[in-house]
């Protein structure tokens, strides 16, 4: 099915990013072997696409559509597209695959910034300013409720979300297990910038998702060793 034929309100919702989630799925040939789909590859992708449109039929209409950068590549709607795929093809999919799919969406833009080194105060301060701009967007759309702590020289950057539409969607549809795979990409994105993310909880598990960001040579990291829990979720102790 052509994406243009999907039935949903395009005035308030968006499809997925230009590097389409569905394209990534098709390249994997997963649905062709999915026992949930008896109609083969073409019908399989149609099932995933229809699931996406069905999910949007009763989803929030106040997220800003194309005007909100959180709905761009790797953002809220791409997460919903991946959840659509997982819902249809869960029997042959896996959480590591989901994590890889999200990384394929968001990491290319970070790889263009390999020259950034968050061990250096100059770059760390610029990153902090970027988070302040992101907060202004959150305040405008009230999608991700974001708080950014004041900047302190020589100390890690801290901000947190107390609301996340992707987590809200996952909770509503019983897909919280997949959110951990999607959120793991946050760690990989920071590593490209010679930074490290320290996280102890997320909006799926608690009332907030915390982000402490420092350079990858910061002694602060010794206090919070990283690990993966039994669900595959990347965390810090």
Q: Write the DSSP assignment of 182-199 as a string of letters.
A: HHTHHHHHHHHTTEEEE-
- Mean confidence (pLDDT) of the chain: 89
d(CA 165, CA 171): 10
Please tell me whether residues 220 and 121 are part of one structural domain: yes
- Please give the DSSP secondary-structure letter assigned to residue 88: H
Please tell me whether residues 11 and 47 are part of one structural domain: yes
Residue 99 inside a domain? The answer is no
d(CA 83, CA 105): 14
User: Percent of the chain at pLDDT above 90?
Assistant: 75
Please tell me whether residues 123 and 229 are part of one structural domain: yes
CB 8 within 8 A of CB 53: yes
pTM for this predicted structure:
0.89
pLDDT band at 25 (very low <50, low <70, confident <90, very high): low
Domain with 52, as residue range(s), is 3-93
Please tell me whether residues 58 and 117 are part of one structural domain: no
Please tell me whether residues 7 and 51 are part of one structural domain: yes
Please tell me whether residues 211 and 118 are part of one structural domain: yes
Lowest mean pLDDT among 15-29, 157-171, 189-203: 15-29
How many residues in total does the chain contain? 237
Q: Is 65 exposed, middle or buried (0-12, 13-18, 19+ CB in 10 A)?
A: middle
Domain count, the chain: 2
Map residue 215 onto helix, strand or coil: strand
Please tell me whether residues 230 and 117 are part of one structural domain: yes
pLDDT tens readout for residues 81-124: 999 999 999 888 899 999 999 999 999 999 999 999 999 999 99
CB 21 within 8 A of CB 101: yes
In order of 9, 13, 33, 44, the CA distances from 88 in angstroms are: 22, 21, 12, 8
User: Tell me, what's the pLDDT at 170?
Assistant: 97
* Of the residues 59, 93, 127, the one at which a domain ends: 93
pLDDT band at 213 (very low <50, low <70, confident <90, very high): very high
* Of the residues 93, 122, 145, the one at which a domain ends: 93
* Of the residues 93, 125, 153, the one at which a domain ends: 93
Please tell me whether residues 132 and 224 are part of one structural domain: yes
Residue 107 inside a domain? The answer is no
d(CA 123, CA 128): 9
Please tell me whether residues 119 and 79 are part of one structural domain: no
CB 25 within 8 A of CB 47: no
Residue 127 inside a domain? The answer is yes
d(CA 10, CA 66): 9
Residue 101 inside a domain? The answer is no
Residue 108 inside a domain? The answer is no
CB 198 within 8 A of CB 214: yes
pLDDT tens readout for residues 48-79: 889 999 999 999 999 999 999 999 989 999 99
Q: Is the pLDDT of residue 37 over 60?
A: no
Q: List strand residue ranges (DSSP E) for 31-149, in order.
A: 145-148
pLDDT tens readout for residues 128-137: 999 999 999 9
Nearest residue to 95 via CA among 185, 169, 226, 11: 185
Largest CA-CA distance found in the chain, in angstroms, rounded: 59
Please tell me whether residues 171 and 212 are part of one structural domain: yes
Please tell me whether residues 133 and 189 are part of one structural domain: yes
Residue 140 inside a domain? The answer is yes
């Amino acid at each position: 099915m052509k994406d243009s034929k999907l039935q949903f309100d395009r005035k308030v919702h968006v499809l997925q990013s230009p590097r389409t989630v569905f394209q990534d799925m098709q390249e994997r040939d997963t649905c062709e072997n999915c026992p949930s789909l008896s109609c083969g590859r073409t019908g399989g992708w149609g099932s995933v696409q229809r699931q996406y449109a069905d999910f949007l039929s009763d989803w929030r209409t106040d997220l800003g559509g194309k005007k909100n950068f959180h709905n761009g590549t790797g953002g809220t709607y791409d997460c919903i597209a991946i959840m659509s795929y997982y819902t249809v093809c869960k029997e042959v999919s896996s959480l590591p695959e989901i994590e890889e799919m999200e990384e394929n969406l968001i990491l290319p833009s970070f790889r263009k910034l390999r020259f950034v080194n968050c061990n250096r105060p100059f770059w760390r301060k610029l990153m902090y300013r970027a988070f302040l701009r992101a907060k202004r967007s959150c305040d405008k759309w009230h999608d991700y409720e974001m708080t950014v702590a004041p900047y302190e020289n020589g100390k890690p950057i801290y901000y947190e979300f107390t609301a996340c539409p992707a987590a809200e969607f996952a909770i509503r549809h019983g897909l919280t297990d997949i959110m951990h795979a999607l959120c793991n990409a946050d760690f990989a994105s920071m590593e490209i910038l010679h930074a490290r993310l320290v996280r102890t909880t997320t909006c799926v598990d608690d009332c907030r998702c915390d982000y402490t960001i420092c350079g990858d040579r910061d002694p602060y990291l010794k206090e919070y060793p990283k690990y993966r829990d039994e669900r595959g979720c990347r965390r810090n102790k």
